[in-house]
Structure 1
């Protein structure tokens, strides 16, 4: 079997039988496409040419190119999953990646915004929203909900109006593996969402492109004259062939969708890229290192919950983590911040 159709079949297996998210399938496909290119450069075009030595050489090339340990570890996992699937389906007589090893990915502490900085950020958004600008009102509701409920950006843009229960202060989200959970939010987030639903969303639902406070149109398009960027609904060929484009629920950004909670231009569901641009613009001038995307707000919310005395398992449930170990990284964040405060404040530190 040629490598390309084999990768397509593996992508369909991940999306349909394993229920992996579109982003996860896309990552596997990108890794395996790189492996296919590497193999073809060495005159290997079929799956039976995959050997342990070839796979090791592929990982070594990535290491020499300066790829991060986490990337090498992900590549190794992609290869092992691929060859295990081929072996299980009888395409390969034995699994060449059984003894493939990779470095353990180094775990870095996530970026966390302190309470004062977070309040200043929300105050700036509130001031912009008070002008009545539809994009600014929507941006405030987005940030309030991301911070209040510690949502993933894919979960946020996948929300429908019916997913929000304003009376119970909860939102129903569909996370990784198409798993649903109900997450609480606070009164400030409720106020921001109500204002958005009453004023901004009707305007966005009936109007064309409009500028937002972050300098983009509501769907994340650059101002006129700027270089065009890929849209949030764009998928890689591998994912499209696998039938796994969009979110697990089929709520793909870029489609005209009257049920969508957050709208971009021309009544389309707001895209992931638009939210990334919004958060990056807000965090750009803020002190701190690390990624400046929406996940920083998820990290911040989780850390602030634990700082405030929330139970670790309750935070795990709120974040939608399958493993408690994933949630425990936020206890490390809290511990490090405590140590920093101790060193700065204690006279005998």
Structure 2
């Protein structure tokens, strides 16, 4: 199997797949033939591209979703010789088997990790990754059904059984307290020999504190203005416009306001923002108050922070360095919620701070009870091992 297709790397909605006309989905057997269409797309790639456009403000999500869409489109057309819009439930049973054991060029280690001819898998997906991949694909299919493009979602028939149905999820993409402290300390070691270095240091220092302390999504941070910080009853709050234009308020600590003051004073602004300011909360490296950075730009800044922190940790803590290299902006949001839960903050308050629609979503950040269970279990096992020689000796004497 060859993959002569340019698979994009940048966090935009480009989806340059050269599919044969017979496999573009124009005549897919699962295409909706009646009802009112909500989209004008008339090929599978066009329809998928429109779905991806819904996530343009979330670079990390966009990358993940596009990866799964590319995998499915290529597998369907190259392996089955069918367009995405002709796939059946039986086809997706085969796809599940494929995700568990991709073979040949799909996971060929000789192929590069990047570029148009790169391998699309590093090996078999874990059960968790398979579940995540199929969940993303099911979301795509449901979107296309709602849009009047597909007649039905074959994955809606998928039976949730066993561990998948019973599993209580726990978020894993977060930094523990020690790693977060290391990230903060590592930034303080950045060189500041030139004006540009110093500007970059101050912006990076402020950005990671803003994302962590408020739990903002990267798109929310990119759109935030200094005027969104305001006081009520002597306490500071941040007004946030989130998903779908929904508004929320996040408590702001005295420490974060001090960090904001430091960042603003460095760029010649008043330490405290006024209510009629148009300045961005996170400015360009030179401090242009009228320039809002894109979510992709903020994403890359944070990735650099984590990469530098990982480099400093590589020798003494390779596992921690690996975690930091995987981390992204959304990990800071997860870290914020997890650390608030660890500190004993009321789950209802965390839900409001994260602006979750359901408190069940917030519940995935409760790790403290698991930590206690682990500590007690390991301690009990250690006590049992320590007393084993005594019991063994007593048993020997009794037998005598």
Same fold judged by TM-score > 0.5? yes
Aligned to 1:161: 226
Q: What is the deviation of 1:192?
A: 1.5
Aligned to 2:215: 150
- Does residue 337 (structure 1) correspond to residue 371 (structure 2)? The answer is yes
Give me the TM-score of the superposition, normalised by structure 1. 0.65
What is the aligned residue count?
Answer: 289
Q: Unaligned stretches of 5+ in structure 1?
A: 203-257
Q: What is the deviation of 1:64?
A: 0.6
Q: Unaligned stretches of 5+ in structure 2?
A: 1-24, 29-41, 103-123, 270-277, 385-400
Give the whole-Å Cα distance in 2 for the aligned partners of 1:309 and 1:54.
47
User: Could you give the per-residue CA deviations for residues 304-330 of structure 1, whole angstroms, max 9, x where no partner exists?
Assistant: 323333111101111122222222232
Instruction: Indicate if the aligned counterparts of 1:111 and 1:299 stay in contact, CA closer than 8 A.
Output: yes
SS at match of 1:291: helix
Match of 2:204 among 139, 142, 159: 139
Aligned to 1:37: 74
Instruction: Indicate if the aligned counterparts of 2:72 and 2:84 stay in contact, CA closer than 8 A.
Output: no
Match of 2:306 among 275, 279, 301: 279
Aligned to 1:291: 323
Aligned to 2:241: 174
Inter-CA distance 32–169: structure 2 relative to 1 (3 Å threshold): same
- Does residue 54 (structure 1) correspond to residue 91 (structure 2)? The answer is yes
User: Could you give the per-residue CA deviations for residues 212-266 of structure 1, whole angstroms, max 9, x where no partner exists?
Assistant: xxxxxxxxxxxxxxxxxxxxxxxxxxxxxxxxxxxxxxxxxxxxxx843223457
User: Could you give the per-residue CA deviations for residues 55-101 of structure 1, whole angstroms, max 9, x where no partner exists?
Assistant: 22222211113123343223323443444455556655555333235
Aligned to 1:263: 283
Aligned to 1:197: 264
Inter-CA distance 296–15: structure 2 relative to 1 (3 Å threshold): closer
Q: What is the deviation of 1:125?
A: 4.3
Give me the TM-score of the superposition, normalised by structure 2. 0.58
Give the whole-Å Cα distance in 2 for the aligned partners of 1:67 and 1:74.
10
- Does residue 302 (structure 1) correspond to residue 337 (structure 2)? The answer is yes
Give the whole-Å Cα distance in 2 for the aligned partners of 1:325 and 1:147.
21
- Does residue 313 (structure 1) correspond to residue 348 (structure 2)? The answer is yes
- Aligned CA-pair RMSD: 4.0
SS at match of 1:271: helix
Relative contact order, CA 8 A, sep 6+: which one is greater? 1
Give the whole-Å Cα distance in 2 for the aligned partners of 1:21 and 1:80.
21
Q: What is the deviation of 1:299?
A: 3.6
- Does residue 185 (structure 1) correspond to residue 252 (structure 2)? The answer is yes
Q: What is the deviation of 1:13?
A: 6.1
Inter-CA distance 272–20: structure 2 relative to 1 (3 Å threshold): closer
- Does residue 73 (structure 1) correspond to residue 131 (structure 2)? The answer is yes
Inter-CA distance 274–44: structure 2 relative to 1 (3 Å threshold): same
Inter-CA distance 96–135: structure 2 relative to 1 (3 Å threshold): closer
Q: What is the deviation of 1:155?
A: 2.8
Inter-CA distance 101–76: structure 2 relative to 1 (3 Å threshold): farther
Instruction: Indicate if the aligned counterparts of 1:109 and 1:329 stay in contact, CA closer than 8 A.
Output: no
Give the whole-Å Cα distance in 2 for the aligned partners of 1:121 and 1:92.
46
Aligned to 2:156: 98
Aligned to 1:223: none
Give the whole-Å Cα distance in 2 for the aligned partners of 1:143 and 1:159.
14
Inter-CA distance 297–76: structure 2 relative to 1 (3 Å threshold): closer
Larger radius of gyration: 2
SS at match of 2:157: coil
